[in-house]
Amino acid sequence: MFADCVVPLPLEGVFTYKVPAHLDRLVQVGCRVNVPFGQKKQYAALVTRLHEEKPEYETKDILAVLDEERMLLPGQYRLWQWVAEYYMCTVGEVYKAAIPSGLKEKDGKVCYRPRTVDCVRLAEKYFDAAGLNSALASMRATPKQQLLLMRYIELAGVNAALTVNNPCVLKEITREELLKATGCSPSVLKAACERGLLEEYEKTVDRIPTSGIPAELVLQPLSDAQQTAMNSIRAAWEEKDVCLLHGVTSSGKTEIYIHLINEVLAQGRQVLYMLPEIVLTSQLTDRLRKVFGDRLGVYHSRYTDAERVEVYRKQVSGNPYDIIVGVRSSVLLPFHNLGMVIIDEEHETSFKQTEPAPRYHARNVALVMARMAGAKTLLGTATPSLESYGNAVTGKYGYVPLTTRYGNVCLPEVEVVDIAELKRKKLMNGPFSPLLLKEIRQALERREQVILFQNRRGFAPVVECHVCGWTPQCPHCDVSLTFHKRTNQLTCHYCGFSAPLPQRCPQCDADRLSGKGYGTERIEDVLENLFPEARMARMDLDTTRSRSAYESIIKGFQRGDTDILIGTQMVTKGLDFRKVSVVGILNASTMLNQPDFRSYERAYQMMTQVAGRAGRSAGPAGQGVRPGRVILQVHDAKQPTVMQVVRGDYEAMFRTQMEERRLFSYPPVCRLIYVYMKHRDETVLEHLAEEMAALLRQVFGHRVLGPDMPPIARVQAMYIRKVCLKLELAANMAEARRRLQEIQKYMTAKTEYKSAVMYYDVD
């Protein structure tokens, strides 16, 4: 018998191994086997097919079988193949992404070990009232051992177990617990064991603690608007597989999800609930645990590998979690019986993996997975991606709007401030307009909270010499270094390079270096001077390196320990704070001027989302309550996207952006494949890029653009070029991919391009 196997390597296709006779009964499709690879490497490979077709080449033997149960459920491999094909990578790369590393250790070492604790139990022959009593009596000379045994009898409930004559009801007692309760030293326990009274054993425990919260199934009653939306979703699913829930910020989408999950579980099916990493907080998981208890599993990228192995194993076992709430990578987890997928904040860019391959978009993968499993998908957001909204407009997806906030709370008012003009008139106070300062001051006086959003971390994005104009650049990338004041370092946000800020200008030796522009760190500094009494917190990549730091900033703000929260795009995400009345967007122009065809769409989404954090409990409209206030500072107040945010006019944003995409051919009106090429030597790279583009033109004609330099044309000492391929939606993608890969193979086979790196990014 032969086995086709996937190895966790970026290599095309599967590899065929011979199944030696002694493993014949153990090898099954979906289990992991240890295979030799190359000269002396070994990998944990996955068996995808068993057959009798002897390949033409000499096959090697499978060395060992690593699982008694399969690690890959039926249907999962089909999804992997789809991902590999659509995102133009190998199945081995999908395997690497899908399976926690503990389950694919190379060289045969399987590093994952179940966690165990040392426990103590009564020796079997003493599970007998008379025997036990005489044993205790005989222990007078060793009072410590006697105490130990007596305490064990108490803790484990031996008497109760003897009454029902069932040792299975004995409580498990850990060694530590027993020693602590008696104050005895380990040697006493050892002696008791040697005497044959007690014995020690290892018990396997879950790394992921179960919540201990009993599921009480507390569903909050839905409001009329929520109930109507829920009914419409069900109705849409009668005809379509996918439904878009377009609900304004704070409309109560989460509660609708909970009701839907409850229904799907009642049918005995599973749910995958995906959200961007940043929204997956304990605020949400606690809420879900209250309703669903331990039927809920969480899959977070900040989990340790061992924890992820545990979730993965549970999903393939006969007793999987019924609901998985997780980030991007949870879409690759196994499900026996998937009934529904929820993708919350579906517009979020963090669902797209950029590095390494597979460069997949979890929303798309989820849609395909759901279709394969016969499950329904719900996309939820206040600011849909053009892709999803477009599909709703054409009727491919169902569409359910929810236009009011829960509890009839009114939406915030957005006010635009033209900072270019204020700068000319010298009316700005650093990054603050007089209006924003006034609003902050009033909010503080009313004991309400403020969120300030600036899309740059660090102190100053650029440092400059006032005499000669020198600015420090990253030696490995084509970007200027950001100054971080707390660490007094210049840092590259692309490769992480950092160096101390020089005292004097290395070019002209003047000592007049200073920072230009405002990062979050500097804004915090300026605010501390303006409002010394206010309590502040900053939330950006620098302050949230650890998971606990992130949670504690959010919790502190929620409890009201913080008055002003300053942050990067992290503060725009779907967090639910009750007492925020003012939101300041410090400089919207930095978002609008990004060199990316999606920048206006993104800017609209980001601004609307951060604005949506304001006034979440301001009270019902029209009863004399102040709605939340959003101050949007921008260089050009007439900019169309800005106006659309102010009016909350998603429709207009959709129309104008779709026109542009049509005019310049960008997704979703066509398919886009970027072919990236990287090399240490810029001249070699240029030749490669030119040749590649010329070959592509022979096949794809005018659909090929470039080569050009991406906005950051050098990262980590590698020069980068890209060629862009735009294909009609109706084009035969499989054929196009095949041609593309042929050309790539031909090019990388040339000796002069051997050390070039080439990869694709789709859509």
Q: Does 467 bind Zn ion (CB under 5 A)?
A: yes
**Rounded CA separation 235/478 (Å):** 52
Q: Does 499 bind Zn ion (CB under 5 A)?
A: no
Residue 474 touches which of Zn ion, ligand ADP, none (CB < 5 to 8 A by kind)?
Zn ion
**Rounded CA separation 242/392 (Å):** 9
Q: Is the dihedral of CA 206, 212, 214, 219 positive or negative?
A: negative
Q: How far is the CB of 403 from ligand ADP (least distance, A)?
A: 11
376 Cβ neighbours under 8 A, 6+ residues apart: 237, 241, 242, 243, 339, 340, 341, 370
- Looking at the Cβ atoms of 272 and 369, the one nearer to ligand ADP is 272
Q: Does 507 bind Zn ion (CB under 5 A)?
A: yes
Q: How far is the CB of 508 from Zn ion (least distance, A)?
A: 3
Note the Cα 464 to chain centre separation in Å.
36
Interface residue with Zn ion among 155, 264, 284, 477 (CB under 5 A) is 477
Q: How far is the CB of 381 from ligand ADP (least distance, A)?
A: 9
Residue 684 touches which of Zn ion, ligand ADP, none (CB < 5 to 8 A by kind)?
none
Give the residue from 377, 378, 384, 347 showing the smallest Cα distance to 246. 384
Interface residue with Zn ion among 420, 468, 541, 712 (CB under 5 A) is 468
Residue 492 touches which of Zn ion, ligand ADP, none (CB < 5 to 8 A by kind)?
Zn ion
Residue number with the shortest CB distance to ligand ADP? 252
Nearest 5°: phi and psi at 508?
-120, 0
Residue 249 touches which of Zn ion, ligand ADP, none (CB < 5 to 8 A by kind)?
ligand ADP
Interface residue with Zn ion among 494, 531, 597, 674 (CB under 5 A) is 494
741 Cβ neighbours under 8 A, 6+ residues apart: 88
**For 407, left (φ over 0), alpha (ψ -120 to 50), or beta?**
left
DSSP 355: S
Site string for Zn ion, 15-54 (x = CB under 5 A): ----------------------------------------
Angle at 104 between CA 296 and CA 298, to 5 degrees: 15
Contact indicator for 460, 515 with CB cutoff of 8 Å? yes
DSSP per-residue string spanning 79-94: HHHHHHHHTT--HHHH
Nearest 5°: phi and psi at 222?
-80, 150
Q: Is the dihedral of CA 74, 80, 81, 83 positive or negative?
A: positive
**Rounded CA separation 232/403 (Å):** 14
- Provide the terminal-to-terminal Cα distance of the chain, rounded to the nearest Å: 42
- Looking at the Cβ atoms of 253 and 457, the one nearer to ligand ADP is 253
Contact indicator for 309, 103 with CB cutoff of 8 Å? yes
Q: Interface with Zn ion by CB under 5 A: which range of 491-499, 559-567, 736-744, 746-754?
A: 491-499
Q: Interface with Zn ion by CB under 5 A: which range of 12-20, 92-100, 474-482, 516-524?
A: 474-482
Give, for 352, the enclosing helix (H) or strand (E).
none
**Rounded CA separation 425/411 (Å):** 32
Residue 250 touches which of ligand ADP, Zn ion, none (CB < 5 to 8 A by kind)?
ligand ADP
Residue 253 touches which of ligand ADP, Zn ion, none (CB < 5 to 8 A by kind)?
ligand ADP
Q: Interface with Zn ion by CB under 5 A: which range of 501-509, 528-536, 703-711, 730-738?
A: 501-509
Q: How far is the CB of 85 from Zn ion (least distance, A)?
A: 33
Give the residue from 434, 352, 353 showing the smallest Cα distance to 96. 353
Q: How far is the CB of 221 from ligand ADP (least distance, A)?
A: 6
Output the six-digit token pair for 380: 């939820």
Residue 449 touches which of ligand ADP, Zn ion, none (CB < 5 to 8 A by kind)?
none
Q: Does 566 bind Zn ion (CB under 5 A)?
A: no
Output the six-digit token pair for 332: 């690759």
- Looking at the Cβ atoms of 258 and 392, the one nearer to ligand ADP is 258
- Looking at the Cβ atoms of 313 and 573, the one nearer to ligand ADP is 573
22 Cβ neighbours under 8 A, 6+ residues apart: none
Q: How far is the CB of 153 from ligand ADP (least distance, A)?
A: 49
- Looking at the Cβ atoms of 252 and 707, the one nearer to ligand ADP is 252
Contact indicator for 465, 510 with CB cutoff of 8 Å? yes
User: What residue type is assigned to position 251 of the chain?
Assistant: S
Give the residue from 272, 361, 308 showing the smallest Cα distance to 104. 308
Residue 505 touches which of Zn ion, ligand ADP, none (CB < 5 to 8 A by kind)?
Zn ion
Q: How far is the CB of 423 from ligand ADP (least distance, A)?
A: 35
Q: How far is the CB of 477 from Zn ion (least distance, A)?
A: 3
List 202's β-bridge partners, or say none: 118
**Rounded CA separation 584/694 (Å):** 49
- Looking at the Cβ atoms of 235 and 541, the one nearer to Zn ion is 541
User: What residue type is assigned to position 65 of the chain?
Assistant: V
User: What residue type is assigned to position 236 of the chain?
Assistant: A
Q: How far is the CB of 607 from ligand ADP (least distance, A)?
A: 16
Contact indicator for 344, 279 with CB cutoff of 8 Å? yes
Output the six-digit token pair for 425: 């008139």
Residue 576 touches which of Zn ion, ligand ADP, none (CB < 5 to 8 A by kind)?
ligand ADP
User: What residue type is assigned to position 246 of the chain?
Assistant: H
DSSP 116: E
Q: Does 505 bind Zn ion (CB under 5 A)?
A: yes
Q: How far is the CB of 472 from Zn ion (least distance, A)?
A: 11
Q: How far is the CB of 382 from ligand ADP (least distance, A)?
A: 7
Interface residue with Zn ion among 499, 508, 549, 621 (CB under 5 A) is 508
Output the six-digit token pair for 546: 């650890």
Q: Does 462 bind Zn ion (CB under 5 A)?
A: no
- Looking at the Cβ atoms of 192 and 244, the one nearer to ligand ADP is 244
Contact indicator for 596, 237 with CB cutoff of 8 Å? no
Q: How far is the CB of 709 from Zn ion (least distance, A)?
A: 16
Q: How far is the CB of 363 from ligand ADP (least distance, A)?
A: 17
Q: Does 717 bind Zn ion (CB under 5 A)?
A: no
**Rounded CA separation 414/584 (Å):** 10
Q: How far is the CB of 753 from Zn ion (least distance, A)?
A: 25
Q: How far is the CB of 584 from ligand ADP (least distance, A)?
A: 20
Interface residue with Zn ion among 292, 303, 351, 497 (CB under 5 A) is 497
Residue 252 touches which of Zn ion, ligand ADP, none (CB < 5 to 8 A by kind)?
ligand ADP
Output the six-digit token pair for 231: 């009914």
Residue 495 touches which of ligand ADP, Zn ion, none (CB < 5 to 8 A by kind)?
Zn ion
**Rounded CA separation 537/567 (Å):** 8
Q: How far is the CB of 695 from ligand ADP (least distance, A)?
A: 49
Positions in the binding site for ligand ADP (CB under 6 A)? 220, 222-223, 226, 247, 249-255, 406, 574, 576
Interface residue with Zn ion among 470, 531, 674, 676 (CB under 5 A) is 470
- Looking at the Cβ atoms of 67 and 344, the one nearer to ligand ADP is 344
Q: Interface with Zn ion by CB under 5 A: which range of 262-270, 405-413, 484-492, 730-738?
A: 484-492
CA distances from 439 to 251, 583, 629, 663, 697 (A): 25, 9, 8, 41, 57
- Looking at the Cβ atoms of 21 and 218, the one nearer to ligand ADP is 218
Note the Cα 79 to chain centre separation in Å.
20
Note the Cα 157 to chain centre separation in Å.
45
Interface residues with Zn ion (CB under 5 A) are 465, 467-468, 470, 474, 476-477, 492, 494-495, 497, 505, 507-508, 510
